[in-house]
Structure 1
């Protein structure tokens, strides 16, 4: 039975959606039906459709009492909104339905597992928010919360672990038909840890092990874990809070880490071999993956930064967008990411330049736009060059840039002149693999974002943009001579 609170949200979003014009949204990046959106939730494939649930507050463009929004898609680029799936309408989740995931049950229903937040009185007379894991089951449109919620609470966590920071379950089906999930948590030392649970039916869950421990290396609480096997390795994705940078890695404060390693099946513990940032840009958090029907593992993340969420435009009726869905693979101990191949079906109006020599400042006829797929290959001319800069989303006043210094193999994304409402951290640098000035970049521009895929997806830099979508200029600037190949496609909606 649909609660009064959920009915209210569904009626509101249906009306509020109508005042948002299509051209005011991203063309092929997912945005909320109305109001506020953060983490992707329940990213899944069910009944022939991709499903995107998301952290959602329909009534304002600021974070507030978390609901679950819901949309479906055939191609991960064009989405159809369906009614909100969850509202914080029970005692165990009245402070919010926080992040979680989704899986199909053997009987054909879809199970949602999420974090319920409720304020409870403590033995010392104080009260605090307690987080538990809860489930709801439905048909792809309507979901009913389980009568025995919560299914995981403080009785299911290791002694001394936090019942306040215990959230974001990611579920999957094992080869034997049973279920497993990982949940983020904090042990007694205040660091982060990932807990592993198992279930025969998806309803009754048992603690298995502490899968991975932070030991105060990467921030504090590890949010939004995902754990899976890919290309012969086990991958753990986490989003740490309060993370300090290390060299040019991990400078987003609330950022992302990919751990590559193996699983000790005798102890159900993850054996880490390497780690790196998932995204080297400004805006990327809480990624979640799904297995497509053809076997690809596809990842999507919230294309935003908790430190810069105040830069939104108050007149807009929506806030928050997802990254491009990315096909992921593992090569040489790294996570490679590449735009889903479905994006290539949106290409039109191809423009090609071969062996262009850029010296100083140059524009190329036909190379402009805000909904484009731009491929660049750089190399040194007769002599090495000192700097290459690509400026885009450009008009007389604003632009965003990607800058490459070949001698240091440094790449920087910079949006400080993009027209944001206030000055803050708008730059990120990363080390890239380059030899003799050679670098390959694929730059995807949408109305309000840019994603730069470096060296066939070895690294990605993502950022939201605050420039008028009519700013379509693109300029190339160099110190020294650069040889350049360019392919540009417009991307249709």
Structure 2
């Protein structure tokens, strides 16, 4: 580790200590979501299950609640529910990364944990350079930088980043999120036999390709993996125009399902599907764990979307991760479910096995709290209309007549209401995680998912209303903190 890197890490530690009391005093700090100790958190990086420990790295600016020269922060866990904050993994100390250690991924090779990431460089005029870099560790805590392994190929702008690396048969592959010189978003494939020398295989899909028309000017954070006989490409395209209930955020995240031909480096795929229909979800990253599950973390935020309006800024921090989710391919759709281990965080519970929800609306004793899990299911009949009001700050609404599911919330700086919606014919179940200033909705066992930040001004209370009196089961648990 160079002196410059040691100095930057020291400065980051001092920044954590400087603002610790203010950060911890914030009523909007979360109990069971990963957050920055100070400053800004964004993309999940290097998510891996390595030597019996889960590692999650994250983009981190410790010095302000805005984007800048990113570090890699680091959490570890033995069980996905109790997390330990580790020393800073990467700091932007070298010439090839001086303006940020940008996003990337992790692999296990020859007993070492290897991180691939993008080094961001800008000159005094703001002109950008980009380098794909490698760092490695023998203990999973301290990393040695090996430098640049891939430079920018012809045909692309310096918006060329976020390497995801995996092994197929006897070769290593890397997918990069890119922008062509024609301002088109692309997913670009490389191949290597030794993780150092990388062969350009080409753009496997993207905007204005054989299978897509205009589809964004930049693709970020690609992740390509095999699941249930299909090759799935998750990507975060920038520049999609809103269409009906789709693409309502500043930038989107979603997936294609298809087949990658490794010999010809061609990817035949279907249409794009958004992963999450809520307000805050971006840059998801997946990996396979010790049990063979395909797990996902995502950033509970969106770049350039209300970021300067979050009230947590007053306490010197902003953003968090989603809860970890397991992906299942059901037919032609990815379902997301909270990982099973989250049930270990449950404490006191309240259950209403056959409660009648009336047209007048009602509250239920014990259905409240700052950090809770709520499951609503076992409907006696399919509800035509069902609402949950959350602290007069957010509302969940299902309307069967319109085949529409809606999440409403008040804007961060006013009482004006904004909505996100998806088509839904029937409501069978709702699983809701509320955590002081966040909500995650899993509808019909993860068929649809909504994620958002919400900032209630008072106690977090819930009330229920049905378009017709309907019987259902409602269960609620308080949720423990995930932090040691």
Report the TM-score when normalising by structure 2: 0.91
Structure-2 separation of matches of 1:183 and 1:385: 45
Q: Which moved more, 1:243-252 or 1:421-430?
A: 421-430
Larger RCO (alpha carbons 8 Å, 6+ apart): 2
Instruction: Tell me the CA shift for residue 424 of structure 1.
Output: 7.2
Contact 1:380 1:481 in 2 (8 A): no
Structure-1 separation of matches of 2:185 and 2:310: 30
SS in 2 for 1:274: coil
Listed as ranges, the matches of 1:403-422 within 5 Å are 403-416=397-410, 420-422=412-414
Q: Does 2:60 correspond to 1:56? A: yes
Which blocks of at least 5 consecutive residues in structure 2 are unaligned? Answer: none
* Residue of structure 1 equivalent to 2:445: 456
Q: Which moved more, 1:2-11 or 1:357-366?
A: 2-11
* Residue of structure 1 equivalent to 2:118: 115
Q: Which moved more, 1:13-22 or 1:165-174?
A: 13-22
Question: For the structure 1 residues 217 and 433, does the alpha-carbon distance in structure 2 shift closer, same or farther, using more than 3 Å as the test?
Answer: farther
* Residue of structure 2 equivalent to 1:329: 328
Question: For the structure 1 residues 182 and 41, does the alpha-carbon distance in structure 2 shift closer, same or farther, using more than 3 Å as the test?
Answer: same
* Residue of structure 2 equivalent to 1:471: 459
Contact 2:436 2:455 in 1 (8 A): no
Report the TM-score when normalising by structure 1: 0.90
- The CA deviation string for residues 5-42 of structure 1, in whole angstroms up to 9 with x for no partner, is 43333532552474243885311110012211111111
Listed as ranges, the matches of 1:134-149 within 5 Å are 134-139=133-138, 140-146=140-146, 149=147
* Residue of structure 2 equivalent to 1:35: 39
Question: For the structure 1 residues 310 and 292, does the alpha-carbon distance in structure 2 shift closer, same or farther, using more than 3 Å as the test?
Answer: same
Q: Does 2:434 correspond to 1:442? A: no
Q: For the aligned residues, what is the CA RMSD?
A: 2.2
Q: Which moved more, 1:313-322 or 1:17-26?
A: 17-26
Contact 1:450 1:465 in 2 (8 A): yes
* Residue of structure 2 equivalent to 1:347: 346
Instruction: Tell me the CA shift for residue 78 of structure 1.
Output: 2.4
Q: Does 2:107 correspond to 1:103? A: yes
Which blocks of at least 5 consecutive residues in structure 1 are unaligned? Answer: none
Instruction: Tell me the CA shift for residue 127 of structure 1.
Output: 6.2
* Residue of structure 2 equivalent to 1:160: 155
SS in 1 for 2:401: coil
Structure-1 separation of matches of 2:300 and 2:261: 33
Structure-2 separation of matches of 1:213 and 1:450: 32
Question: For the structure 1 residues 129 and 280, does the alpha-carbon distance in structure 2 shift closer, same or farther, using more than 3 Å as the test?
Answer: same
Q: Which moved more, 1:5-14 or 1:66-75?
A: 5-14
1:251 to 233, 244, 248: 248
SS in 2 for 1:283: coil
* Residue of structure 2 equivalent to 1:490: 478
Instruction: Tell me the CA shift for residue 426 of structure 1.
Output: 3.2
- The CA deviation string for residues 184-232 of structure 1, in whole angstroms up to 9 with x for no partner, is 1122331111111122222222212322222253322010000000111
Off by >6 Å, runs of 4+ in structure 1:
none
Structure-2 separation of matches of 1:13 and 1:73: 24
* Residue of structure 1 equivalent to 2:128: 129
Instruction: Tell me the CA shift for residue 355 of structure 1.
Output: 3.4
Instruction: Tell me the CA shift for residue 425 of structure 1.
Output: 7.3
* Residue of structure 2 equivalent to 1:481: 469
Contact 2:164 2:222 in 1 (8 A): yes
* Residue of structure 2 equivalent to 1:208: 201
- The CA deviation string for residues 69-123 of structure 1, in whole angstroms up to 9 with x for no partner, is 11111222322111111111112211111111111221x22211111111259xx
- The CA deviation string for residues 133-179 of structure 1, in whole angstroms up to 9 with x for no partner, is 11112231221221xx321112xx2x4222x2101101123342x32
2:72 to 46, 68, 87: 68
- The CA deviation string for residues 24-64 of structure 1, in whole angstroms up to 9 with x for no partner, is 53111100122111111111122321111111111122222
Q: Does 2:186 correspond to 1:187? A: no
Structure-1 separation of matches of 2:415 and 2:71: 31
1:309 to 303, 307, 310: 307
Contact 2:220 2:237 in 1 (8 A): yes
Structure-2 separation of matches of 1:433 and 1:345: 32
Contact 1:351 1:489 in 2 (8 A): yes
SS in 2 for 1:11: helix
Contact 2:184 2:218 in 1 (8 A): yes
Question: For the structure 1 residues 114 and 244, does the alpha-carbon distance in structure 2 shift closer, same or farther, using more than 3 Å as the test?
Answer: same
Q: Does 2:389 correspond to 1:391? A: yes
Structure-2 separation of matches of 1:424 and 1:180: 47
- The CA deviation string for residues 317-345 of structure 1, in whole angstroms up to 9 with x for no partner, is 32110001000011110110000000111
Contact 1:6 1:86 in 2 (8 A): no
Question: For the structure 1 residues 22 and 271, does the alpha-carbon distance in structure 2 shift closer, same or farther, using more than 3 Å as the test?
Answer: farther
Structure-2 separation of matches of 1:64 and 1:422: 28
Structure-1 separation of matches of 2:370 and 2:67: 28
Structure-2 separation of matches of 1:127 and 1:444: 42
1:170 to 164, 170, 194: 164
Structure-1 separation of matches of 2:415 and 2:361: 27
